[in-house]
Structure 1
Amino acid sequence: MAQQTDWVPTTVDLEKPSAARSYDYLLDGNHNFAVDRAFVEKMLAVQPEVKRFAQVNRAFLRRAVLFMLDQGIRQFLDLGSGIPTVGNVHEIAQEIDPATRVVYVDNEHVAVAHSQLILKDNENAAMVHADIVKPLLVLQDPRTRQLLDFDQPIGILAITIGHYVLTEHDPDGVFGAYRDAVCPGSCLAITHLTNDFLELTNVTEGMKQSQNRIMARDRDEVTALFGDFELVEPGLVTTSQWRPERASDAQTPDKDGLYAGVARKV
């Protein structure tokens, strides 16, 4: 794959891999660079399941969005949205209802630049360039306020983002701010890396070579991120076990590597 960078913002560091671009490569996207591909291949050498983790996680995102749409939710806040590949939130939601509104949030420059390109003609979707660990900046951004009505239910998507919220970022405070901002009937979907079923220290250590550090959390720690929201059935499980389309899609927890759940504010 040729590395085309003529459209990329000059602020992008092409010498160090990023989580968003690496995830894009794992999902067979084309907005990643040689440094990201080399990094992912190195990670796959020590933990071959990483690619499956990404694919099953993406499938969970679709099911979670469709579930929220079934609950009547027609607006979404996608935290740490990354680089939009096929099957992103606005494509899923607006196929059901074109009036559905989506706000994406990310601080990775390529993710932001590409999102702005593909959304420029979509009046019901926007990208906010911000760090999700600063909730007030996200929630008070003019584009967020323009598109989202906080007096109506909102679907908050925190897909593979919680493990980037380190202890020093105050994860309870960060997630609490987003939970507090939305009204009853809103939902929160989370997927989060865990060591509970498969030792993933090699993954967390490997990420230190990128622009992004991560930390795995156990079941109780991930559950705490939902606060007083009520988990819907089947509760906190792993990604493929959350309402699979076919029973055969559900794998053993060690094949997923991430907890997954959706909870509702009552």
Structure 2
Amino acid sequence: MKRGFLVAAGAAVTLLAGPRARAQGVGEACAASYEQAQQLVRDRALLRARAELRLCASSCPATLARDCRSWSERVERDMPSVALSATSAEGHAPGRVRVLLDGAPLVEAIPNAAIEVDPGRHTLTFEDMAGTRVVAVVTVSPGDKALPIAVRFPAAGPPSAAAPVRQRWPLAIAGAGAVALGVGAFLGIKGHLDRSELRGRCAPTCRADEVEAIDLTWKAGAISAGAGLLAAGAGAMLYFQLDPAAPAATGAGLSFSPGGPWLSMIGSF
């Protein structure tokens, strides 16, 4: 009933406000605040309406100022407020909690006093120092005073240490494979250089032990490279299986031929 009377009175005054203000020869600030305040009341934007009514009361002639003071009293009666509170999952004070009203900052810390808000449906977002958020959707009616709005933050989950460990050991396998692959490449190249040097020095009458040493170097390189390639491939495969979101990577492979070692690149994108 009270709200209906206020809206009806505002609508009636709006029709008369312009002519009445012009008839009294008031300034633009007075006329604007006199009319804007009534529109804001009809829109239930009471916080802004109060500011306009204060301007009207201080800048308008006595007759109009009396109207604004009367409307201001009604706005104060209808102005709702909310009493905010928050607790941790264990029921303790969660420390400093900032609150957003409909996405805009409201307070940086919950105060002890109630906070005035416009009537209507609002979304209140509570955020603690750890960044955890709790959202409350409430409807505040005109005349509600210190409407209690209490939230409880959820319990913090245990730290997810398994995921990093799970991701590290496949990388360790792939890293060891890369090292073995590098050793294989080095031995293969060394064997190739030693064979070239031996050919130039004593072929075809080189000693058997010198030829055998080069052959052993190549075999060791091939074994190391093969093991490294398998380890690098296995590590990469395990990593991508454990983390499907990880991007595909390029791999390296080493192959041997009678003409010497060859390094090739394989991968998917």
TM-score under structure 2 normalisation? 0.23
Higher strand share: 2
Larger Rg: 2
TM-score w.r.t. structure 1 length?
0.24
Q: Which of the two has greater helix per residue?
A: 2
Bigger relative contact order, structure 1 or 2 (CA pairs below 8 A, ≥6 apart): 1
